[in-house]
Amino acid sequence: MKGKFSKCFHFLIDIIYDFKYDKSMMKKENKQQRAYRIIKARIVEKVYAPGQRIVIDQLSRELATSSIPIREAIRQLEAEGLIEYKHNVGPVVAPINESEYYDNLKILGVLEGYAAALSAPYISAAKIMKLKELNERMKEALEYFDIHLFAKLNAEFHQLITRECQSKILYDTIAGIWKKLDSIRGIGSTLYSVRVKESIEEHERIIFLLEKKSDLKELEMFVREHKFKTADDFERRRSLRMESTGEN
């Protein structure tokens, strides 16, 4: 009975992610990309718990594919820190390291601030409109308590800006840190705080600075501080939780 419930739960999670996932992208994805998307979704949603073994043969049957795409997807997720290999066990879901979240957000703040200043001259009116649209959709997501959609839109907002920085090395480094942040599962629940509303308001300020072609140093420092505040808020609430639960 437990096995049937687990299969049902996996199936529902996959349907939800298929629904939220961009349909145009789904049509283009190959077997390895589909396997990657589904396994990652299950890890992020805690369907697969830290330390749980990833059974390749079982996934092959579920996804109606050979083991090759599954293994390729697992290698990609291992590179992102979501999966690790254990001797005599095989691939397992990597443990959660929340302490890395704070450090990565601080680094991201410095890099995104610099990238925003570099990107500013190349942000077109059409991209400004897209940023406004993303921020409005974030407001709606918050009203419906859809924190996963909120997080996805937040990432799109910042990536739209940094993508114009004219430096592939800088953009790839930033993208790599975003992937690291994905490896810290369960982070969505920590976003339920006054900080999410503040974040939307700060996005409006970022849009204003970009649209008015404001001083680049002011823009860089504001974007940096925007991310620093999120890092500090997360660390404060994590410390309070650890104190209340007696965690080390």
Q: How many CB atoms lie within 10 A of CB 128?
A: 15
On the 0-12 / 13-18 / 19+ scale of CB atoms within 10 A, 105 is buried
How many percent of the chain have pLDDT more than 90? 56
Q: Given this model, what pLDDT does residue 247 score?
A: 66
Q: What is the distance in angstroms between the CA of the first residue and the CA of the last residue of the chain?
A: 37
CA separation for the pair 224, 106 (Å, rounded): 8
Strand partners, 98: none
Q: Given this model, what pLDDT does residue 21 score?
A: 45
Average pLDDT value for residue range 124-139: 97
184 band by pLDDT with thresholds 50, 70 and 90: low
Q: Given this model, what pLDDT does residue 135 score?
A: 97
Strand partners, 13: none
Q: Alpha carbon 5 to chain centroid distance?
A: 28
Name the residue with higher pLDDT: 27 or 82: 82
Give the predicted TM-score (pTM) of the model.
Answer: 0.70
CA separation for the pair 178, 191 (Å, rounded): 16
Average pLDDT value for residue range 88-117: 91
16 band by pLDDT with thresholds 50, 70 and 90: very low
- Best CA proximity match to 192, nearest among 241, 234, 130: 234
Q: Given this model, what pLDDT does residue 24 score?
A: 42
Q: Given this model, what pLDDT does residue 183 score?
A: 64
